[in-house]
Amino acid sequence: MLGPGRTIETEALVLKRTPYADADWIVTLFTFSLGKVSALAPRARRSKHRFVGGLEAFHNLTVQLRSTRSEDLLQVTDGSITRARHTLVLSLLAMQIAGKALNWLRQAIPPRIVEPRAWSLVQSWLDIIDAHPPIDPPQADARLAEFGLRFLTVLGWSLEMSKCVRCGKPCPPRSSAYINPSQGGVVCRDCGGTGQLVSSSLRKNMEQLSTFGTGELFAEHSDLALSVVERTLESHAGID
Ligand SMILES: [Zn+2]
């Protein structure tokens, strides 16, 4: 943790910016060294030169953060873009899904806890979106759902997809199953079979992404996978 009057330099992503007073921003940052923090960026709205690039989302910044008298708020004393994602910010679809992913981060991770797994997940995912922006909305949803499934695992909220969460009965590998996000995973037909009906191939695909972080979702499955992710986040963190 950052002691009184101390300054630290760290890489950061901007999760949210809120105008404050005449010319300041209050920024929520996801930082490599301190986890999620809030910080005041004085005069950042008045001068683009003060923070090179203007504390924009989606790029990696290197920021200097100083502790203040308020325990909850740091101060940004310097900041500049050190890794720009130029292609991402030219694609509306890429910006939409990256914005959603950063919003999930902002709402789901607790403040001031270093999260190296979440940091490396979001970094590698943003790099992929920057290198290959989605070409249509279903593909965009598929990329976002892939991030979401891996993020749920980092948070410890991954869904049980191979057996019923109520009675423990294993799911036959080739059958479809009901996944109930608020119950934590598959609910078999004997136990009521509530939730969203997911085909065996999608279930396998989703399980692989959440367990090993590998694989890709097909665009035609993206709706359903994304809705499972969103409902899981909603039931754990009230995110909508
Ligand atoms: Zn059951």
Q: What's the CATH number where 34 sits? A: 2.40.50.140
Classified as helix, coil or strand, 69 is coil
CA of 159 to the centre of ligand 1 (A): 15
Count of domains forming the chain: 2
pLDDT band at 49 (very low <50, low <70, confident <90, very high): low
Domain that holds residue 17: 7-83
CA of 171 to the centre of ligand 1 (A): 9
Element (H, E) at 64: strand 60-67
Burial bucket for residue 49 (CB in 10 Å: 0-12, 13-18, 19+): exposed
Report field, pTM of the whole predicted structure over 0.85: yes
With respect to residue 75, please indicate whether it lies within any of the assigned structural domains.
yes
With respect to residue 132, please indicate whether it lies within any of the assigned structural domains.
no
Last residue of a domain, one of 83, 109, 133: 83
For residue range 126-155, what is the model confidence (pLDDT) as tens digits? 999 999 999 999 999 999 999 999 999 999
CA of 211 to the centre of ligand 1 (A): 22
Last residue of a domain, one of 26, 54, 83: 83
CA of 215 to the centre of ligand 1 (A): 28
CA of 193 to the centre of ligand 1 (A): 8
With respect to residue 67, please indicate whether it lies within any of the assigned structural domains.
yes
